[in-house]
Amino acid sequence: MSGAFDSRLRMLARQFATHGEPVDWSPLGSGHINDTFVVTYADSGGSSKLVHQRINTDVFGDPVAVMDNIARVLDHLAAKRRADDPIAAGMTSLELVPAIDGRNFVVLDGDEYWRTYAHIDGAETIDTAATASQARGAAAAYGRFQRMLADLPGPRLHESIPGFHDTERRYADLCAAIDEDRAGRAAACRAEIALAGSRSQLATAIERSALPERITHNDTKLNNVMLDVATGEAVCVIDLDTVMPGTVLYDFGDMVRSAAITTAEDEPDADAVRIDLDIFEALAHGYLGVTADWLTEAEIAGLGLSCEVITYEIGIRFLSDYLGGDRYFKTAYPEHNRVRARAQFALLEDMQRSRDRMTAILDRALGQAPDPGRQRLAR
């Protein structure tokens, strides 16, 4: 896409309400979903940067619904900041640049959906936490994000990916992939299939009916929070395509799964894969520090379990994709999805071995959070 971007850029510059002419551009960030470009626009009054982003319509089948969600969410966050809501203090939010026809996206060549944001200057994203304080700040940013959206006026947001965190369905998909054995790989995956089967109670472990429906981010990786380059403070939650109704537990669990791991997600040596309890502690403190007096008892009680459930869910998705012939996740080598599945399962087993310590850490984080009267964690 980058090579073809020059011709796109002329159309984008014409169709979005930009100031000046594009004078420079480069691909941006380490995201794997959307094509993202930063463009410098200049006129006699000076220059400014915009971010043009093409929505991945393979992943998001209804980009108009996605943009409707994002626009409503961003309006609400901006209103919170204007009202000096203390939860918003020190944070900014993405700002959409409208198209000249008044919509918040443009369509090129009939099927390319593009949106534009103001560039957030002086901030960066990181893929792994170099310090506990980065993890703590990012977790707090997600907590504040969820909390600020709790009173978003209706109607209900669109489900940008229907059934995204339906773990039970993901397990049913795995069973079907094993039966079908489309790529002829099941016989060689006995250990992984056995592990998935032995933990299948996790597929139904989260009792949705006991949990309030919230507006959640659903892609709570560290690199979806921008950090101030000078201070390291978390300043903005980005990558809002998957914002939709859900439970806070998946956001917390996925944050832990993706950030509190001692290796890469595709570490081939599964024995090296562990939960990083220092990063876990930082995430727990960051998150509960801003949400403890807002979450329900059931939500708080489910936080530890949520880490296991989401790790299991992602593990069985990698395994299903491996068995089905790698049709969903992009792979760099033939065994890639199996390696990923094994690493998730190793992480899950280590979380289960570390259950008591994780509970104690959550308990401590809760005890230090602003509402000391709250009940202790119950598992």
Ligand X SMILES: Nc1ncnc2c1ncn2[C@@H]1O[C@H](COP(=O)(O)OP(=O)(O)O)[C@@H](O)[C@H]1O
Q: Measured from the CB of residue 140, what is the shortest distance to Mg ion in angstroms?
A: 18
Of 220 and 354, the one with the shorter C-beta distance to Mg ion is: 220
Q: Measured from the CB of residue 353, what is the shortest distance to ligand X in angstroms?
A: 32
* Using rule CB under 5 A, residue 36 touches Mg ion: no
**Member of 15, 16, 28, 31 binding Mg ion (CB under 5 A):** 31
Of 97 and 277, the one with the shorter C-beta distance to ligand X is: 97
Of 26 and 204, the one with the shorter C-beta distance to Mg ion is: 26
Q: Measured from the CB of residue 210, what is the shortest distance to Mg ion in angstroms?
A: 31
Of 18 and 223, the one with the shorter C-beta distance to ligand X is: 223
Of 192 and 239, the one with the shorter C-beta distance to Mg ion is: 239
Of 119 and 364, the one with the shorter C-beta distance to ligand X is: 119
Of 78 and 205, the one with the shorter C-beta distance to ligand X is: 78
Which of ligand X, Mg ion, none does 51 bind, CB closer than 5 to 8 A by kind? ligand X
* Using rule CB under 5 A, residue 224 touches Mg ion: yes
Which of ligand X, Mg ion, none does 44 bind, CB closer than 5 to 8 A by kind? none
Q: Measured from the CB of residue 246, what is the shortest distance to Mg ion in angstroms?
A: 18
Tokens of 326: 């790698």
Which of ligand X, Mg ion, none does 273 bind, CB closer than 5 to 8 A by kind? none
Q: What is the 3-state secondary structure (H, E, C) of the chain?
A: CCCCHHHHHHHHHHHECCCCEEEEEEECCCCCCCEEEEEEEEECCEEEEEEEEECCCCCCCCHHHHHHHHHHHHHHHHHHHHCCCHHHCCCCCCCECCECCCCCCEEECCCEEEEEEECCCCEECCCCCCCHHHHHHHHHHHHHHHHHHHHCCCCCCCCCCCCCCCHHHHHHHHHHHHHHCCCCCHHHHHHHHHHHHHCHHHHHCCCHHHCCCEEECCCCCHHHEEEECCCCCEEEECCCCCCEEECHHHHHHHHHHHHCECCCCCCCCHHHCCECHHHHHHHHHHHHHHHCCCCCHHHHHHHHHHHHHHHHHHHHHHHHHHHCCCCCCCCCCCCHHHHHHHHHHHHHHHHHHCHHHHHHHHHHHHHHCCCCCCCCCCC
Which of ligand X, Mg ion, none does 106 bind, CB closer than 5 to 8 A by kind? none
**Binders of Mg ion in range 226-285 (CB under 5 A):** 239
Angle at 262 between CA 260 and CA 263, to 5 degrees: 115
The residues of the shown chain that bind ligand X, judged by CB under 6 A, are 28-34, 36, 51, 94, 117, 119-120, 125, 223-224, 238-239
Interface ranges with Mg ion (CB under 5 A) = 31, 224, 239
